[in-house]
Amino acid sequence: MKVIILLFVIICFSSAKAQLTAVDRNTGRIIPCDELRCTEDDSTYETTDRICLNCFYRVSDSTMQATKNAIIQKCTESSKNCAAFKNEQKLWEAKREKAALREGNKYKGGTMEMTEYVRTKLIMTNKRVTYLKRYLSKL
């Protein structure tokens, strides 16, 4: 049986590290995303599945940010100019936002609007993480 979870995800800060969590609507218990029984095959139409989608996106975005920071640090350490990379990343982030808004707007005002918005950001972010990891390995 699926746990009914609020439609928002909270980022709790413990020490210096952010932990990605959701809240169980019935008990008020804060559940770490990695404890949710989500699989990438879950339907995103149920409340619980929307939370899973948000958790997948937040984990993917955190991975992307960490990889991006590692690239910038490596560029700086090796005296390479990071301006081109930073500009490329900024352009990509704008492209991702535009694509997510376009997909979400197909369901404007409906329950699927935010689901499609987040799903699009998740798919694009996962692809970007793969690209950035390859980029980092070549520096």
In this structure, the number of other CB atoms found within 10 A of the CB of residue 30 comes to: 13
Tell me how many domains the chain contains: 1
Residue 68 has pLDDT above 70, yes or no: yes
Confidence of residue 47 (pLDDT cuts 50, 70, 90): low
Q: What is the per-residue pLDDT across 84-137, written as a single tens digit (0 to 9) for each?
A: 899 999 999 999 999 999 999 999 998 889 889 999 999 999 999 999 999 999
pLDDT at site 4: 29
- Could you give the strand order of the β-sheet that contains 17-24, starting from the edge strand earlier in sequence? 5-14, 17-24, 30-32
Q: What is the per-residue pLDDT across 91-101, written as a single tens digit (0 to 9) for each?
A: 999 999 999 99
Range of the domain at 98: 5-138
